[in-house]
Amino acid sequence: MAVLKVENLTKVFGATRAIDNISFDVELGDIMVIVGGSGCGKTTTLRCIAGLEDPTDGVITVDGKVVAAPGRSVPPEQRGIGMVFQSYALWPHRTVFENVAYGLQRRNLSADAAREKVTGILKQVGLSGFEDRYPSTLSGGQQQRVALARSAVLQPRLLLLDEPLSNLDAKLREQMRDELREMIKMFGMTAVHITHDQAEAMALADTMICMRSGRIEQVGSPREIYRTPANFYVADFIGACSFLTGVAVETDDESSTFLIGDAMRLRVRTRAPVQPGSKSVMAIRPDGIQIGGAMEANAENQFTATTLRETFLGSHSEYLLDVGGHRLKADSSADLTVGQACRVRIDPAKIVLVPG
């Protein structure tokens, strides 16, 4: 069952099509993350769903009720939607309890019933005992929990999140993205989250939408989008990736061999027939390259590489390698120094042919 349906949504500002005829559904209990660079249309999409912008065209349905269509726009407060803003939008002059209780009071809930609900929700987000604190005395992570509790206490059918982790430092951001997913699932909410951070998107999402220039480039699970990007833009935007361009010189039903440059031959497991002589772009993720070990006779895709750069990250290092005159990124726990030669093998099953 789709809690949210967006059909042929378009939003035009002057001569700019901020959203260009996009459609998608969000199923009950799912977390949909919309990711893309600045100006891709993700924030405008969220604002149209929330009722903060009126679409130029298209239909938005929440829980079976049309909330936006040509000639129709339901006010934000009547859409049954909760929202967590980038800045959290907490009232600085109200206590934690008063911030969370505000929406319940607007619904004319009795004081006793409101207190019971607020006390319960604060316990669930780990803020029992913070009822009388003011937002300025809380950490960024605690403020984020208050903002989430304020929305969750109203039991919205749909929760919208506008980059709520962007103001946190790196370590807290990583911690809170895991907690955020757990809390959304705990409350049984359906959510749409927008971010420009690819790692955050993959960690949070059940389903991802990758946008560019107001259009949807790909919809899928984080694993699908990472492993089988629909095109060059998605492969380049989502996670680290290296690209090689080659000409098919040998093909069969399951794999093809490409000549890259004058001498490098690369075997690729293909999902569709490749015409001999055709040119293709190959996307290779860092985890598709294995570093180390002895050269093996007749092994596919093994090469001698030279280390150009090493970035040590603790559990592993990120390497930039020269492989036959081509630069490739690889992750490995091997300890290599700049200038050191090594053996690498590129997994044929982890190379993806991508359209431009």
Same domain, 308 and 198: no
Q: The whole model's pTM is what?
A: 0.88
The residue to which tokens 């909410």 are assigned = 189
Q: What are the tokens at 221?
A: 């699970």
Residues 232 and 256 in one domain: no
Residues 256 and 227 in one domain: no
Cα 179 from chain centroid (whole Å): 16
Q: Any idea what the CATH number is for the domain that residue 165 is in?
A: 3.40.50.300
Q: For 263-311, what is each residue's pLDDT tens digit?
A: 899 999 988 888 889 999 999 999 999 998 777 777 789 999 999 999 9
Please check whether residues 193 and 267 belong to one and the same domain: no
Is the per-residue pLDDT at 14 higher than 90? yes
Q: H/E element holding 105?
A: helix 96-106
Instruction: Tell me what percent of the residues of the chain surpass a pLDDT of 90.
Output: 66
* Helices first, then strands: H and E counts in the chain: 8, 21
> Would you give the DSSP letter of residue 188?
T
Average pLDDT of every residue of the chain: 91
Based on the fold, state whether residues 25 and 99 are members of the same structural domain: yes
CA atoms within 13 A on the CB side of 240: 13
Same domain, 285 and 137: no
Whether the pLDDT of residue 195 is over 70: the answer is yes
Residue 183 predicted with pLDDT over 90 = no
Residue 254 sits in which domain range?
242-354
CATH of the domain at 326: 2.40.50.100
pLDDT (average), residues 9-32: 96
Q: Are residues 125 and 219 in the same domain?
A: yes
Model pLDDT, residue 284? 96
Q: Which two tokens stand for residue 203?
A: 């960690």
Order of all β-strands in the sheet with 289-291: 289-291, 341-346, 302-312, 317-323, 326-332
Number of compact structural domains in the chain:
2
In the listed set 237, 252, 270, which residue is the last one of a domain according to the structure? 237
Q: pLDDT tens digit string along 115-171?
A: 999 999 898 888 999 999 999 999 888 888 898 889 888 888 899 998 888 777 777
Average pLDDT over residues 170-196: 86
Looking at the structure, do residues 68 and 111 belong to the same domain, yes or no?
yes
When pLDDT is averaged across residues 99-127 and rounded to a whole number, the result is: 88
Average pLDDT over residues 247-268: 91
User: Rounded to an integer, what distance in angstroms lies between the CA atom of residue 214 and that of residue 207?
Assistant: 18
- Which token pair is 293? 């070990």
Residues 213 and 253 reside in one and the same domain: no
User: Where among 215, 237, 259 does a domain terminate?
Assistant: 237
Q: What is the pLDDT of residues 44-53, one digit of tens each?
A: 999 999 999 9
CA–chain centroid gap for 96, Å, is 30
Does 191 share its domain with 290?
no
Least confident of 236-245, 291-300, 314-323, 345-354: 291-300
Encoded amino acid at 335, one letter: D
Report the alpha-carbon distance of residue 109 to residue 11 in Å, rounded.
Answer: 37
Which are the contacts of 110, defined by CB distance < 8 A and separation ≥ 6? none
Q: What pLDDT, on a 0 to 100 scale, did the predictor assign at position 166?
A: 78
Q: Region 229-254: what's the mean pLDDT?
A: 92
| Interacting residues of 112 by C-beta distance below 8 A, sequence separation 6+ | none
**Domain check: are 210 and 254 in the same one?**
no
Q: Are residues 217 and 261 in the same domain?
A: no
Where a domain ends, among 218, 237, 256? 237
